[in-house]
Amino acid sequence: MRRRHLVPLLAVSVTATLAPALTTSTATAAPAAVPAAAVLPAAGKSALDRYAKQKPQWKRCPEPEAPPEIRCATIQVPLDYRKPGGKRIELAISRIEATGPGKRQGVLLSNPGGPGGPGLYLPLGMAEWLPAAARQKNDLIGFDPRGVGSSTPVTCGLEPKEEDWLRPYKPETFADDVAWARTVARKCEEKAGDILPHITTRNTARDMDLIRAVLGEKKINYVGYSYGTYLGAVYAQLFPKRADRFVLDSAVDPERAWRGMIQWWAEGAEPAFDRWTAWAAERSETYGLGDTPKKVEGAFWDLVERARQKPIDLDGQVVTGDDIRMGMRAAVFTPLYATEAFVELSNAADGETVAPKKLREFLRPEGRHATGATAATPADNGTASFWAVVCGDNSAAWSRNPESYRRDAIADRGRYPIFGDFASSIKPCAFWDRSVERATTVNNKAGSLVVQNEWDSQTPLPSGQALHRQLKGSRMVTVLGGEGHGIYPSGNPCTDGAVNRYLLTGKLPVKDVTCEATEGSNEQARQHREQDVLPVSPLPVRAPDRF
């Protein structure tokens, strides 16, 4: 299946105007659910009405490679839904119209993950992989979430090295890590302290409902990946009667947002590591890492120690033992890739020439990620918006005591030696302001379809199972043996068929569905890794340090 790969993203310059006042009986009136979720007095409700009455001015999108069928506009939303008459920010939205004359039934929104992932051009990918019948019925709606990309982008003024946030615990560097975390939080407060507290998942969900109202729809359909599953779950919690067909692919556990989700990366890596050592041992004649899992494990830790003593030079970029631990954390979920990459690393340690592109997960972020920033999108926008959500959604999840992070990092390095200290050591959230709202408890009966691979590096299987339990009206599709983060579409008839039937009919499976991964679907996941793209997305991948 062909997929576009657009470079990220230019700021949307088109604007929307506020329409003349409409009576509350019109299709574009503000839905009661919006002010109810914001707990607004009567004056607040009338203040929101004017937002719902906006008329998007659809124009060519600013990205030069964007085809003419996708149109862009900008609408305004309240910075603070508790004060809708106050400051406004812009929200960039896009649309590809339904293809079936007379068959249009509604809209389908989407989110590619993050937090901090732009989604303005995601409809281009959706247009390629959705069933033709679904394309006939739905306008495909994309948007950059508030604070992201073309939607009043936030910045903390961070240097590239300050964006490097997955840091191993070392007694001799912990004080520096505390200073780094404090500096990031201080810079964010100084640069965007008036905006960042309102860049939250709850407010992004409210923005989605305002998009719904502006488009004159009673309900929305939705496909969300990774972080987008949490956004979809929060929307369903705030607006259960507005949620129609919701597909939640590679799912976040709401009860662990967000420190606990980062710690899932360490917990989930251990069984994946064991699976990898067994896989490599069975192929010892090919790869030479050892003919038992124990020997393969020994080869791994031997290389980590070698690189600790003498870092590996990859075409001018240095790989330490900690970098190997960090890279293998995500790599082991795809044993073939992990084995080939590990052999390349071993060869590099022996002084042989290798291809650094194959080893991108072992390079520090400043060597791995392209910012894609434009004049209108700050270079650190992805990181600034990431911390706004990760810290601001639930500040209660983050201790204010730096020493508690030291203790947790030491303990979790023992429990989860691959990645435990990375996950549990200090983050900027330790110095972030308190959340302006309580954390969202997800516990509703809105219908949705949770789709989950068994071997997912960013949202491990137990995370998807947890979201399924909390969404009482959901069904779950589990792909046994499935590798990779982001599933639909995968070319697996079982998985794709379950999602397509739901999107077309609105009927969930009678019971949970278990699919077996196919060689083709796992091969597609490996190709996504090699091509540096998210499944079905025209956006560059930001894994393994994002959801």
> Which residues are catalytically annotated?
226, 456, 485
Residue with tokens 């972020």: 365
The first and second tokens of residue 317, run together, are 């970029």
- The DSSP bridge partners found for residue 479 are 453, 515
Of 135, 153, 156, 134, residue with least CA distance to 144: 153
Cβ–Cβ < 8 Å for 329, 264: no
Provide the strand spans (E) within 288-411: 312-314, 317-319
Instruction: Name the residue among 143, 138, 140 with its Cα closest to residue 93.
Output: 143
Instruction: Give the residue from 124, 116, 144, 123 showing the smallest Cα distance to 11.
Output: 144
3-state SS, residue 222: strand
Residue ranges of E strands in 70-192: 70-78, 88-96, 106-111, 138-143
Burial of 436 (0-12, 13-18, 19+ CB in 10 A): middle
The CA–CA distances, whole Å, from 268 to 175, 326, 381, 513 equal 28, 13, 28, 22
Q: Which residues contact 52 (CB under 8 A, 6 or more apart)?
A: 28, 29, 30, 31, 34, 210, 213, 214
CA distance 522 to 530: 13
Determine the 3-state secondary structure of 325 from DSSP.
helix
